[in-house]
Amino acid sequence: MTPVRREGYKFLQDICVPCYFTDASFSLKPSSFMDICQEIAYWAASELGFGYDDLNVHHTAWVLSRMHFHISKYPKWRDNVTIYTWHKGAEGLFYLRDFQLKDAEGEIIASSTSSWLIIDTRTRHIVREGEVFSTLNGSRVNDNAIEEQAPKVVLPKGIEPELVKEHTVSYSDIDIIGHTNNARYMVWAMDAIDYESVSSKRVKDVYINFNKETLAGEKVSIFRVRTEEEGREVYYLEGKVDGRSAFTVKIVF
């Protein structure tokens, strides 16, 4: 990846899509889109004085709570794309950050909005005040990649979820905060859908909530509901640890 650049308070990075970001059709994986967003979010926050190192001094860290992304066109292996990000300030407990992915011609091919929290890395509790609050408002951008905030995801009522698989959180799942990386939940969700479906159809929208962190050694039971909404195939998935919801995701094909 090339270095991060900025246009005002928007940050961008040029990417030549690597093979390990793609599937068997050479197309970008949804989880890889989340990886790209996460990386530039860290860089952008650091440039503005509230990045990983700035928060770590105070034993705090950013964690992703909710995300919605829409992919209208999938880039392929070796395509040149540009990821943009900007933050929109605080709304209640959440800090809002948007993303856009553009192709080489400047067309928007993916859009996303995300909601973040700050936690104390010692207690794992949400932090509601601190130095970061005073530095945010001066650099916020009043622009929307997706106007509505990422919503709460709830499995549909009246349909019994099917237990699909169990996953033990392992080395490859853990990130720099010491818990499961957000994009790994998307990997688990896609792997809980039949391969014939995920390999032959394109994901259009993903709505994902992170309800409880998961740690190395914990066993996550993953449940699935398949339904149709407005003529589209939709999967709801939920991961639970000891009966408590760790994540929920809605995937629209």
Nearest-angstrom CA–CA distance, 90 and 133: 8
Percent of the chain predicted with pLDDT > 70: 97
State residue 133's pLDDT score: 63
pTM for this prediction: 0.95
Q: Are 51 and 61 in contact, with CB atoms under 8 Å apart?
A: no
What distances in angstroms separate CA 122 from CA 56, 61, 93, 239, one per listed residue?
11, 10, 19, 24
Determine the average pLDDT of the residues in 86-90.
94
SS3 track for the chain: CCCCEEECCEEEEEEECCHHHECCCCEECHHHHHHHHHHHHHHHHHHCCCCHHHHHCCCEEEEEEEEEEEECCCCECCCEEEEEEEEEEEECCEEEEEEEEECCCCCEEEEEEEEEEEEECCCCCECCCCHHHHHHHHHCCCCCCCCCCCCCCCCCCCCCCEEEEEEECCHHHECCCCCECHHHHHHHHHHCCCHHHHHHCCCCEEEEEECCCCCCCCEEEEEEEEEEECCEEEEEEEEEECCEEEEEEEEEC
Residue 252 pLDDT exceeds 90: yes
* Residue range 43-80, pLDDT digits in tens: 999 999 999 998 999 899 999 999 999 999 999 999 99
* Residue range 184-219, pLDDT digits in tens: 999 999 999 999 999 999 999 999 999 999 999 999
